[in-house]
Structure 1
Amino acid sequence: MTMLVWGGFLLFIGLLVALDLGVFHRKSEEIKVAEALIWTLIWICVALVFNLFIYLLYGQNWGGWADITTEHLSGGKAALQFFTGYLVEKSLSIDNIFVIAMIFSYLKVPLSEQHRVLFWGILGAVVMRGVMILGGVALIDRYSWLIYVFGVLLILSAIKMMVVRHDTIDPDKNLFVRLVKRFLPVSDNFSGNRFFIVEQGRRVATPLFLALILVESSDVMFAIDSIPAIMAITRDPFLIFTSNVFAILGLRSLYFALAGMMERFRYLKMSLVFLLAFIGVKMLLSHHHPIPNLVSLAIIAGILAVGIGASLLASHRDPAALASPLAEELEHLAEISYQQAKRLTILIVGSTLLLVGIVMLVLPGPGTLVIIIGLTVLAAEFAWARLWLRRVKRSISRLKDKLTERFHDE
């Protein structure tokens, strides 16, 4: 039954992709916004219909499926987890859309060829995410404490999203692009929708192939955020993979629908910051104080609604706000000294470890050790942290002496 369900899903997705590219988008042409919006709606409807299948598959226990899965979910819970995961993945993909737009703009990819790059990029993303999902689920099942690592990773990702600009692209700094250029010559000119051509008797890559490599590598980086995020919602591999796939498949049409008006959503990135931070906290609390998925869905929907609503009500457009919510306030970071940058990095890393350690005091895990590590990091630059660290060490020393005396007395 397991192979039948997984195989049937992959066959279904293959059929949808074949219809999309082989029937509806056979020609290389620019996709209009209206058409992209229609296709975005179609992909959303397909995902919702599939969620009905999820409800029946788990609720009716077709072929004993609900007994096979590790979570033993009811139909309602499985459908709720799928929809929440799909909403999270769809929301986080908006940030990926902005980066893809920057890649196409930098490389001057013709509008008529962008669809082909996104098609192959998304197929590659499905394969890579499938491997990452199976590996991540297996690791968490074996090492439950990794849930805290993923939680911290999401909080750090939220901080990074808040302070790092994404409005500059330099392909020559991309590891995968450098590898391609090392082993394969790259042409300066496009050649229709071809990734490779023959120039002067040798096979060379076109800039279209570089665009594909950059899109794939950017998705890998975003997957590092999105996959731990959905693992905070469900541990069921089938729900994680299917919600990811549907969010990715709708990414291409969503790109053509939103790429031209991303500057209107000036507060959306800040809502994604809060979304990542909330999911990170949810993961840290998952063992002893789990947040119900219905509550999580309401919070996530509320965060996104506030971001979209505030953007629509904004009186002026500011694309830099999407690149970084604190773009103007942090513009001077490019000019600060090395010492100041070092202090900022130590503050972020040390404070995060300190907060995680405090949370772990009431959860399973080495909370005291993490607190000491966090204070040690902070003590490298901050006097107050050195004072706290000395106090903690003195307390541990006194406790050790008392235990030693009691041991000798006995």
Structure 2
Amino acid sequence: MLEITPLAWIVTIAVIVGLLAFDLIYAALRPHQVGFKEATAWSIFYIAIAIAFGFVFMAFAGGDFGAQYFAGYIVEKSLSVDNLFVFVIIMATFAVPQAHQHKALTFGIIIALVLRAIFIVLGATLLNAFAFMFLLFGLLLIFTAVQLFRHRDEEPEVQDNALVKLTKRVIPVTEEYDGGKLFTRIDGKKLATPLFVALIAIGSTDLLFALDSIPAVFGVTSEPYIVFVANAFALLGLRALFFLVKGLLDRLVYLSIGLAIILAFIGVKLILHWAHGIWDGVPTVSTNISLIVIGVVLAITTVASLIKSKNDPEAKAKPGSLKATSHSHDQADHTA
């Protein structure tokens, strides 16, 4: 079992909070449209930090725990690309100005980190207390994989988000943006701006993503510290990655299929782990095999997507949905 001292936890959290604070202050002081070169530099910076942390962690904790970290990081990074699809839809739906998308994403990432930290604590507690939670997590991931595959060509309807609807019902919202402000005053009344609603949409959407990403990373490691840092470093680079690849996302036409396969694989891995605790003869899947499978699936998915988009320029990627959208229901009714 991995032993992490309170000091190590404090230093790790301080570094992550410091990076987030720098990102947020930078976004607030210099609201601007992030260009390709800037996004590339920030992406390289955050990936380099994640890799450097992995090697330092491996030197202190050992190769096995280091491999678990890198496997968890790759899983979370690949799943975060699906988040980017939804972020693009949210930015377009609420017409967030280019200059303030940086701020919206940084706030959204902070919300995501807080929510996932809560999920990690709950998940670790449940797994330690009840061995059958491995079975439940595995079944949840397989169910998610099946739903994602079934609705791989759909887009989630952001306006139908329950928290977004509740926010608009409870808080008066203006139709106009007021710079980068979350709230504004009109005729003496305090109103929320569309930027505030966009943040609610980003945060609540990521809550849904956490329902599959947290069990998925617990499928490659049972160590809460590794789960936390893998999530944190994957999310830290999400803002820069958004500006870097948002123009290329349309070309990843098979991404949802690849992610569905990865989620199903990890789900089976969790079920085998649970079964092995009851029957010794049941095989388990090692971290190294997980790394290979995840890497191969992502490589094949990316190459196949690029070939498809090159041969068929009309083919556009979709983030996929965990349920049939009302739009698809309408189409089905119309067809009938």
What is the TM-score normalised by the length of structure 1?
0.73
Contact map agreement 2:251 2:317 (CA 8 A) in 1: no
Counterpart CA distance in 1 for 2:28 and 2:147 is 37
Cα drift, residue 54 of structure 1: 1.2
Alignment of 1:178 with 2:136, yes or no, is no
Q: Which range moves more in the overlay, 157-166 or 250-259?
A: 157-166
Counterpart CA distance in 2 for 1:312 and 1:174 is 32
What is the DSSP-based 3-state SS (H/G/I as helix, E as strand, rest coil) of the residue aligned with 1:192? coil
Give the aligned CA root-mean-square deviation in angstroms.
2.0
Cα drift, residue 123 of structure 1: 0.8
Q: Give per-residue Cα distances to partners, 1:154-212, cap 9 Å, x unaligned.
A: 111111111225435342x2221222223210000001100001111111100000100
Alignment of 1:304 with 2:298, yes or no, is yes
Cα drift, residue 332 of structure 1: 7.2
Give the aligned partner of residue 366 of structure 1: none
- The one-letter amino acid paired with 2:205 is S
Counterpart CA distance in 2 for 1:283 and 1:308 is 26
Contact map agreement 1:99 1:166 (CA 8 A) in 2: no
Alignment of 1:316 with 2:312, yes or no, is yes
- The one-letter amino acid paired with 2:51 is L
Counterpart CA distance in 1 for 2:188 and 2:117 is 38
For residues 9-408 of structure 1, the aligned pairs below 5 Å read 9-23=12-26, 26-58=29-61, 75-164=62-151, 165-171=153-159, 173-287=160-274, 288=276, 289-314=283-308, 315-318=311-314, 320-324=316-320, 334-336=330-332
Contact map agreement 1:106 1:169 (CA 8 A) in 2: no
User: Which runs of 5 or more residues in structure 2 are unaligned?
Assistant: 277-282, 322-326
What is the DSSP-based 3-state SS (H/G/I as helix, E as strand, rest coil) of the residue aligned with 1:285? helix
Contact map agreement 1:43 1:249 (CA 8 A) in 2: yes
Counterpart CA distance in 1 for 2:244 and 2:156 is 22
Aligned CA distance change for structure 1 residues 132 and 332 (closer, same or farther; 3 Å): closer
- The one-letter amino acid paired with 1:39 is W
Contact map agreement 1:266 1:318 (CA 8 A) in 2: no
Counterpart CA distance in 1 for 2:30 and 2:328 is 47
Counterpart CA distance in 2 for 1:24 and 1:101 is 18
Contact map agreement 2:28 2:103 (CA 8 A) in 1: no
Q: Which range moves more in the overlay, 1-10 or 150-159?
A: 1-10
Aligned CA distance change for structure 1 residues 168 and 125 (closer, same or farther; 3 Å): closer
- The one-letter amino acid paired with 2:157 is I
Contact map agreement 1:89 1:243 (CA 8 A) in 2: yes
Counterpart CA distance in 1 for 2:49 and 2:119 is 24
Counterpart CA distance in 2 for 1:251 and 1:269 is 18
What is the DSSP-based 3-state SS (H/G/I as helix, E as strand, rest coil) of the residue aligned with 1:204? strand
Cα drift, residue 272 of structure 1: 1.0
What is the TM-score normalised by the length of structure 2?
0.89
Q: How many residues align?
A: 316
Cα drift, residue 286 of structure 1: 1.2
User: Which runs of 5 or more residues in structure 1 are unaligned?
Assistant: 59-74, 326-330, 341-410
Question: Larger C-alpha radius of gyration, 1 or 2?
Answer: 1
Aligned CA distance change for structure 1 residues 271 and 282 (closer, same or farther; 3 Å): same
Counterpart CA distance in 1 for 2:288 and 2:158 is 41
Counterpart CA distance in 2 for 1:89 and 1:209 is 26
Counterpart CA distance in 1 for 2:37 and 2:312 is 24
Q: Give per-residue Cα distances to partners, 1:212-239, cap 9 Å, x unaligned.
A: 0000011000010100000011111100
Contact map agreement 2:184 2:192 (CA 8 A) in 1: yes
Counterpart CA distance in 2 for 1:241 and 1:95 is 19
Aligned CA distance change for structure 1 residues 170 and 93 (closer, same or farther; 3 Å): closer
Identity of aligned residues (%): 35
Cα drift, residue 22 of structure 1: 3.1
Aligned CA distance change for structure 1 residues 135 and 332 (closer, same or farther; 3 Å): closer
What is the DSSP-based 3-state SS (H/G/I as helix, E as strand, rest coil) of the residue aligned with 1:53? helix
Contact map agreement 1:52 1:79 (CA 8 A) in 2: yes
Q: Give per-residue Cα distances to partners, 1:18-63, cap 9 Å, x unaligned.
A: 33343587311011123212211111110011112211332xxxxx
Give the aligned partner of residue 6 of structure 2: 3
Aligned CA distance change for structure 1 residues 226 and 147 (closer, same or farther; 3 Å): same
What is the DSSP-based 3-state SS (H/G/I as helix, E as strand, rest coil) of the residue aligned with 1:322? coil
